[in-house]
Structure 1
């Protein structure tokens, strides 16, 4: 079982008890406004998401971690790695992803989780390059990408939803573990 501990977080594989709290995060319109077309996701959709994330672990050897607060055991959201098949122009690539519930915003958890996931990608999984894809205007995620040492590679558009995207990148030679 793959698990990463940071000073305040545990990044781990998904468990049955994670479904309801993740569905609550996905049902928050403010959380989801920057993801895909901005639609919220219900319990059934979240269950399908978690199943797909776990399949990616099996297929790729990496995936999205459940992010748990070390102190309380609360599920704060997700962070990890995924193949961004929705944006063929950046392939082959691995994307670093993070999504936290609103109660966990503004406390550095996203940066902490994303840094751990990036370190996992570059040092544990041997990837030589990772991208971050953010909707234009999502300043919080842009800030996390910058804190990771990523630089803007290109501006593009989501092929399905038509929203403008920023693609940031970092490679192993630039990473400051």
Structure 2
């Protein structure tokens, strides 16, 4: 199945191109971008991640789409849907997420892209629920979650099983939204 493309007022969310890998590796190596993640990715790790993302979109028609600004930057990060690869009380599920290069923060791009992704998830895929989660201190992503209508589920907060018990980013908050 070919990957879908989503278009918003300012953005194009699309399948990945080979040219996306270098700027993706740069944002994955930027400590400002990875401060709330488990750490920077090497070029090989970033490329392997991009390969998994691109393959998923090719096979399923949806996933973590590459974001470009119309008549502007050809790649600024990703936004989309994925299935977490760990076990937690709320899995299996579909998660909405985003990651943008630092220079594209504070322009509303994550919120704009996430709204298009939610619409696709609920109205095209007909998902009954979409979740999102992040570290407790990731206030920027939490604000995006709230702007797009996700609601915090304190009973669903969890310690991320991929991080060691003493890792400072292990505590995560869970947000949810059901199809209306």
TM over 0.5: yes
1:19 pairs with one of 6, 21, 26: 21
Question: How far 1:62 moved relative to its partner?
Answer: 2.2
1:105-152 C-alpha deviation (Å, 9 max, x unpaired): 111001001111111111111111000011111000000000111111
In the alignment, which residue of structure 2 is the partner of 1:28?
30
Q: Which runs of 5+ in 2 are unaligned?
A: none
Q: Secondary structure at the match of 2:25?
A: helix
**In structure 2, C-alpha distance between the alignment counterparts of 1:18 and 1:87, rounded to whole Å:** 30
CA RMSD, aligned part only? 1.3
**In structure 1, C-alpha distance between the alignment counterparts of 2:58 and 2:96, rounded to whole Å:** 17
Contact 1:87/1:158 (8 A) holds in 2: no
Q: TM-score, normalised by structure 1?
A: 0.91
Question: How far 1:94 moved relative to its partner?
Answer: 0.1
1:37-82 C-alpha deviation (Å, 9 max, x unpaired): 2x11122111100111123224544210001011213311000000
Question: How far 1:159 moved relative to its partner?
Answer: 1.1
**In structure 2, C-alpha distance between the alignment counterparts of 1:118 and 1:25, rounded to whole Å:** 24
In the alignment, which residue of structure 1 is the partner of 2:55?
55
**In structure 1, C-alpha distance between the alignment counterparts of 2:46 and 2:74, rounded to whole Å:** 17
In the alignment, which residue of structure 1 is the partner of 2:121?
121
Q: Where do 1:65-76 residues align within 5 Å?
A: 65-76=65-76
Q: Which runs of 5+ in 1 are unaligned?
A: none
Q: TM-score, normalised by structure 2?
A: 0.90
Aligned residues: 171
Q: Where do 1:157-172 residues align within 5 Å?
A: 157-161=159-163, 162=165, 163-172=170-179
